[in-house]
Amino acid sequence: MSFTIAKQGDVSIVAIDGQLIVSNRQELKQKMLDELEGGARKILVDFSQTGYIDSSGLGVLVSLSKKIREQGGALRLAGLNEDLRTLFELTKLDTLFQISDTRAQALASF
Amino acid sequence: MSGAPHPRGDARLLEFEIPNDVRHIERVVEEIRAECRRWRYDDRQLALNVPVALTEALSNAILRGNNDDRDKLVRVRAWIDTLQLVVEIMDQGAGFDLEACAADPTTPDRLLDEDGRGLYLMLRLMDQVERLESAGFNVVRMTLRRAS
């Protein structure tokens, strides 16, 4: 897994390339916490280049969403393919996150 | 060990023995997934069912079964043919009660929990998940019928 963090206006866009699983979730969590500590309050995670996600990856997203909300921020998800959407639906996390089809739609939703 | 799961004669058998370290999970998953691809498993199964359920089972074996102990090992055996994938993940832990650990993580009081979705996903993504007794090893066997 590799990921990039880019800024578009006041939104931090985190793009995940590859798998988000137990072996790399802490790396992602720390980078996003660093963003939050650096003042970011609008965070968008783009999954358009993501392979699969395991329960640890889902758990990190849940944990981050709570921390971002506690700081008065907002988290948006975008670019999930059909398989990733199924994963969110199976776990009912699609009811917890605001999920947009595209990065542009997610940006417009803040 | 746990006894063969009655694979067909032409089934391909893959075997692994990996150190108890989550960094080894992805390689095992990719090799089994590649073999399933050669047997023309469905795209959905290749992208979702196989990798996610396998990652969960291996993660459970390493972190919970073997308690993240670097001196322990995890063994994997996978039989793949045109009908099904049968995979056994063996750790050196004491085992667990499948029923007791399969609480529903989608209820409102558990939806915000960080943990507790692994076994649930294995059960939802595989056709069968069993825990077997075996001397010295705790075995989880998962079966996925190839989608036609």
3-state helix, strand, coil in chain B (%, to 5): 30, 25, 40
Measured CA to CA, the distance from residue A68 to residue A39 in angstroms comes to 11
Label residue B6 by pLDDT band (50, 70, 90). low
pLDDT reported for residue B8: 67
- Residue B118 and residue A54 in contact, taking contact as beta carbons nearer than 8 Å: yes
Interchain CB distance below 8 Å, B25 and A23:
yes
Domain count, chain B: 1
Measured CA to CA, the distance from residue B93 to residue A5 in angstroms comes to 39
CA distances from B31 to B35, B41, B71, B135, B138 (A): 6, 14, 24, 27, 23
Q: Is residue B66 part of a domain?
A: yes
pLDDT reported for residue B1: 46
Regions of chain A with pLDDT less than 50: none
Select from B25, B44, B118 the Cβ nearest to the Cβ of A55: B118
What is the percent of chain B where pLDDT is above 90?
80
Lowest mean pLDDT among A41-45, B8-12, B115-119, B128-132: B8-12
Interchain CB distance below 8 Å, B118 and A23:
no
B9–chain A nearest CA distance, Å: 32
Q: Which two tokens stand for residue B101?
A: 């650990």
What are B59-109's pLDDT values in tens digits? 999 999 999 999 999 999 999 999 999 999 999 987 777 776 778 999 999
Q: What is the domain range of residue B127?
A: 12-145
Label residue B4 by pLDDT band (50, 70, 90). low
B residues 37..76 contacting A (CB < 8 A)? 44, 47-48, 51-52, 55-56, 59, 63
Measured CA to CA, the distance from residue B125 to residue B115 in angstroms comes to 18
Chain B residue numbers with beta carbons less than 8 Å from the beta carbon of A68 are none
Measured CA to CA, the distance from residue A53 to residue B95 in angstroms comes to 25
What are B32-56's pLDDT values in tens digits? 999 999 999 999 999 999 999 999 9
pLDDT reported for residue A77: 98
Residues whose CB falls within 8 Å of the CB of residue B25, separated by 6 or more in sequence, listed in order: A21, A22, A23, B55, B58, B59, B62
pLDDT reported for residue B71: 95
Measured CA to CA, the distance from residue B7 to residue A100 in angstroms comes to 43
Interchain CB distance below 8 Å, A23 and B112:
no
Residue B49 is part of a domain; what is its CATH number? 3.30.565.10
Q: Is residue B129 part of a domain?
A: yes
Return the exposure string of A54-79: e unless at least 16 CB atoms fall within 10 Å of the residue's CB, then b.
bbbbbbbbbbbbeebeeeebbbbbbb
CATH number of the domain at A2-108, please?
3.30.750.24
Looking at the complex, does the CB of residue B26 fall below 8 Å from at least one CB of chain A? Answer: yes
Label residue B5 by pLDDT band (50, 70, 90). low
Interface contacts A/B by beta carbons within 8 Å: 74
What are A36-50's pLDDT values in tens digits? 999 999 999 999 999
CA angle A52/B32/A79 to nearest 5° reads 15
pLDDT at B148 over 90: no
* R_g (Cα) of chain A, nearest Å: 12
DSSP line for B27-43: HHHHHHHHHHHHTT--H
Looking at the complex, does the CB of residue B22 fall below 8 Å from at least one CB of chain A? Answer: yes
pLDDT reported for residue B43: 96
Measured CA to CA, the distance from residue B102 to residue B95 in angstroms comes to 14
Label residue B3 by pLDDT band (50, 70, 90). low
Averaged confidence pLDDT in chain B: 91
Interchain CB distance below 8 Å, A95 and B22:
no
Looking at the complex, does the CB of residue B34 fall below 8 Å from at least one CB of chain A? Answer: no
- Residue A32 and residue A14 in contact, taking contact as beta carbons nearer than 8 Å: yes
pLDDT reported for residue B7: 65
Measured CA to CA, the distance from residue A14 to residue B69 in angstroms comes to 33
B28, B30, B36, B40: CA torsion to nearest 10: -170
Q: Is residue B4 part of a domain?
A: no
Measured CA to CA, the distance from residue B44 to residue B19 in angstroms comes to 30
ipTM of the complex: 0.94
Domain boundaries, chain A: 2-108
Section B13-38 average pLDDT: 97
